[in-house]
Structure 1
Amino acid sequence: MTELQIICEKVDALIESLGGYWSKEWLLQPVLEELGEFSKELQIDAGLHPGRSTSKEKLEEEFGDLLFAVIALGRGLEIDIEKAILLSIKKYQTRSK
């Protein structure tokens, strides 16, 4: 079992302990919310919000939240996460040739 498969199973277990996956039409909402939170921290890190500061730890936390939401979206839609990312990598490798 790959590390990614283990992570996906941990996401599944946590979501199941919280009552299961939401309906498909609501699965994207947490991704959008977490993307907004990560974007805000990234803007702070880039100096776009004078007087505010962030840290690598805060960026990692928000990035982790975003990854969790994306994995939950994929799992809720019954997408093979590992297959999807490997196909994407292959696509980008082909484009760069």
Structure 2
Amino acid sequence: ENTKEGYVTWLMSHSLLTFEQAESVFYFQMNGCLSINRLMLRNHCNDWKQIQTTIDKFIKSGLESFLIHDQREENASDNFCSKISPTVTASSTLR
């Protein structure tokens, strides 16, 4: 689900973050991605896909440090990132 509530709920259910912490991560991520999207549009970026991939990897590695890994879902961040691209979500969620 590509909503704030879906993201925050997913993050809380796969980590030890509180609601306030998960919501703060959401807003930090979305505002940063939105800023990059605006910059790329303003500068007529020719290589958006590579920049998007770089940012997605950066966000994923940060999220990885909070995720709980167990036998139920060892690839939680991979599953999450395959459902929702952080940089794409920023532009669609904050409209």
TM-score by length of 1: 0.35
Considering only CA atoms, is the larger Rg found in Structure 1 or Structure 2? 1
Q: Which has the higher contact order (CA 8 A, sep 6+)?
A: 2
TM-score, length-scaled by structure 2: 0.36
